[in-house]
Chains A and B, each alone.
Chain A
């Protein structure tokens, strides 16, 4: 028996798992601080282009979002492959834009309405026809502050 006794002196030290919750809480707080609740599900693929002249959008409550792009694969059988406009969480056409802007405006107090911006999240490959229609609809509704969403491109 003595020849086959287990070596006891060199058992590996146990890793203390008491700090595991702390690590997880740190990750959790990171996500809670950095992210925002996703309020609309994107039904279209949007890959925004790169640009260098970027301004940050402050005051998210004063921003409404218009998405333009091709529908995602799972929606393509019902909605086709042409680029579509998504206002809020459903597809729409440019005729629905005045109502959409009005609904968003109603949630904002009078004094802040001058600062309302519209963020246009448009996919790279969308043709300018749709974009021009959307811009005309925005101009007719008096919404002149527009932000073309883009990613930062490294200066050459």
Chain B
């Protein structure tokens, strides 16, 4: 069996028919044991925990934009029932206050958006509201980046982004949920 002559080598052809079987086997193994993981999502920074109640007495009402969602997933924006379609535009108008109206934010640095749900609100409604608010901030930051640096917020350098973030800080305050409709 130690012969290494060419005649010996020519006779030893590997049967390629089983290669396909091996490949099928490996393919089925991978199909069964792996998943295509979705890894995108809305990134949020939670406020640090403190046992004391947050001090809200120093805030001026004009600087606070409240969005309440009840257990029927309906929105109450600053005391008025509204549709979620207008939320993004309303937030942007509140933060920038282009016409300097007295009931909107003094300036973007002082603008606070406060969210409150009920324990019975559906998660999808909450996330939609959060998404619209975050989108409002991102669009405003993009506008500022384009006006100042000529490019989108994402394409700016770290320092440019930091500057924009200090001018338009993302301040979303979330209150403890009320408990009117959880056990429906």
Residues of A with Cβ closer than 8 Å to B?
Answer: 17-18, 20-21, 24-25, 27-28, 31-32, 34-38, 48-49, 51-57, 60, 63, 117, 119-120, 122-129, 131-132, 135-136, 138-140, 142-152
CA distance A131 to B122 in the complex (A): 10
Chain B residues with CB under 8 A of A34? 36
Cβ contacts A to B, 30 pairs, < 8 Å: A17-B20, A20-B20, A21-B16, A21-B19, A24-B24, A27-B27, A31-B27, A35-B35, A36-B37, A38-B33, A51-B131, A53-B131, A57-B40, A57-B41, A119-B39, A119-B41, A123-B123, A128-B126, A129-B119, A132-B176, A139-B46, A139-B47, A144-B45, A144-B46, A145-B45, A146-B45, A147-B42, A147-B43, A148-B41, A151-B40
* Contact bitstring B112-150, A, C-beta under 8 A = 1, else 0: 000001111111101110110011001000000000000
Which partner residue on chain A sits nearest B88 by CB separation? Answer: A52
CA distance A152 to B131 in the complex (A): 11
Task: Contact check, B41 vs A132: say whether CB atoms are below 8 A apart.
Answer: no
Chain B residues with CB under 8 A of A120? 41
Q: Which of B24, B26, B35, B41 contacts A36 (CB 8 A)?
A: B35
DSSP majority for the B interface?
mixed
The reply on B74 being an interface residue by CB < 8 A is no
CA distance A140 to B46 in the complex (A): 10
Q: Which of A63, A124, A135 contacts B124 (CB 8 A)?
A: A124
**Cross-chain pair count, CB within 8 angstroms:** 151
CA distance A140 to B48 in the complex (A): 8
CA distance A24 to B120 in the complex (A): 50
Chain B residues with CB under 8 A of A123? 123
Q: Which of B23, B37, B40 contacts A150 (CB 8 A)?
A: B40
Which partner residue on chain A sits nearest B184 by CB separation? Answer: A127
Interface of chain B residues 25 through 76 with chain A (CB within 8 A): 26-27, 30-31, 33-49
* Contact bitstring B163-184, A, C-beta under 8 A = 1, else 0: 0000000000000110100100
CA distance A28 to B19 in the complex (A): 13
Task: Contact check, B131 vs A128: say whether CB atoms are below 8 A apart.
Answer: no
Q: Which of A53, A128, A138 contacts B177 (CB 8 A)?
A: A128
